[in-house]
Amino acid sequence: MSSTIAIATMALAATGHAATPTSVTLYGVADVNVEYTNHNLTSGPGGASRFALNSGGLSSSRWGLRGVEDLGGGKRAVFALESGFSIDTGTSTQGGRLFGRQAWVGLGAGSHQVTFGRQYTSLFLTLANYSPTAYATSYEPVPIIAGLNLREDNLVKYHGDFGPVSTELHWSFGEQAGSLQGGSGFGAGADYHAGPFGVAVAYDDINSTKVAGDYTRARKAAVAVRYQIASRWFTQAAYRYGANGAQAAGTVARDDLWWLALHWQATPALELIGAAYYDNIRTLRGAGGMTSNPANPWQVSLIADYVLSKRTDLYVTSAYTKNAALNFENYNGAAAAYQIAPSEHNQFGVALGMRHRF
């Protein structure tokens, strides 16, 4: 639930006109869990178990402001400012940025909208309805699915709805003198949804210094489907192609990711989700520029989400990963939340948490 502040001002009496009303919405999510994981990296030769209090399990903790102004004639001005935080420590996330999750402003008319600022990429937005856990931290390999640059600075994005088809198109400026392409990125996506069936395709391409982690260029393309099997059952499946200009040892240069999920609304209050992920790592960058084809990682995740109210739910999540750390995080090219001991070949995690929306 969010709180909406309706702001209406009147123009000077001499003008004879009233200013258009504006709505500003304050919203947020507070999500916390207690987690157990095994086979964690330690200073010794073997792995060890770990208990932790974590921020974000089903949803990353955040707060934000959204606003819209009716400009008349079906046109509108819009903005969003969204900040991430760790509820266990009270610190800001996204590198300490004030509005690291989103910061944009734009114009819209009818089912079309153009926005400017720090935003999500086309592939990330298009696949959102095809993510088994809606991009949950516990446990889904989100950076592997959508890339480390699932948000981009200096991004211009178009969103348009054409009947049952929703589209995304974006370009991010590299802001490098003498080169329009240097440091830039682009992408597109389309999502067809009608009745019980949905299918989506998407592509992201991000260049050189714009890419997080150890990649000089990151390209991802995906196709995904979802189907409502019955009133309380639906399934999702997807394939994602990835090609990265990997530089440092331990980063993936080429992979094919697959996932499959089944959702069951067991009762009006209880949803159960099972998901499986398999990553065919075709090329892994090694020391000295050498490449290899390692054992392919896979993960099985199970989630039980119990709704207490429209704003609050309790959840239990668990996952088992083979040939990698949880969420395949030792392969994502950046600092990992989960690190597996070199002597181990699997990792297990389970988390009990609560999520409150405001």
Note the pLDDT tens digit of each residue in 166-222. Answer: 999 999 999 888 878 888 999 999 999 999 999 999 999 998 655 665 557 889 999
What CA–CA distance (Å, rounded) separates 254 from 267? Answer: 42
Task: Judge whether residue 18 has pLDDT over 50.
Answer: no
* Spatial contact of 217 and 211, defined as CB atoms under 8 Å apart: yes
Residue 312 Cα distances to 65, 272, 305, angstroms: 20, 17, 10
Amino acid letter, 194: A
Q: Is pLDDT larger for residue 214 or for residue 121? A: 121
Top-confidence residue, 148 or 37: 37
As a whole number, mean pLDDT of residues 243-263 equals 87
Task: Return the residue matching tokens 């709704």.
Answer: 307
73 has a pLDDT exceeding 70: yes
pLDDT at 357 over 90: yes
Q: What angle is formed at CA 71 by the lines to CA 69 and CA 75, rounded to 5 degrees?
A: 100
Q: Which fold has domain 3-9+30-357?
A: Porin (2.40.160)
Any idea where the domains of the chain sit in the sequence? 3-9+30-357
Length of the chain: 358
For residue 292, what pLDDT band results from cuts at 50, 70 and 90?
Answer: confident
Q: What is the pLDDT of residue 22?
A: 85
In this prediction, residues 280-308 reach a mean pLDDT of: 90
Model pLDDT, residue 128: 97
CB 291: neighbour CB atoms within 10 A? 12
Average pLDDT, the chain: 91
Query: Does residue 38 surpass a pLDDT of 70?
Result: yes
- pLDDT: which is higher, 27 or 245: 27
CA torsion sign, 188 to 217 to 131 to 256?
A: positive
C-alpha atoms less than 13 angstroms from C-alpha of 10 in its C-beta half-sphere: 4
The average pLDDT across 130-146 equals 95
Flag whether pLDDT at 248 surpasses 80.
no
Q: Which residue carries 């199970």 as its tokens?
A: 302
The CA-atom distances, in angstroms, between 14 and each of 7, 8, 18, 185 are 21, 18, 11, 49
Q: What pLDDT shows up at residue 52?
A: 97
What's residue 236's pLDDT? 99
Q: What is the pLDDT of residue 179?
A: 78
What is the structure's pLDDT at 21?
A: 66
Distance of CA 304 to the CA centre of its chain: 20
* Number of other CB atoms surrounding residue 331 within 10 Å: 22
Distance CA 326, CA 142 (A): 11
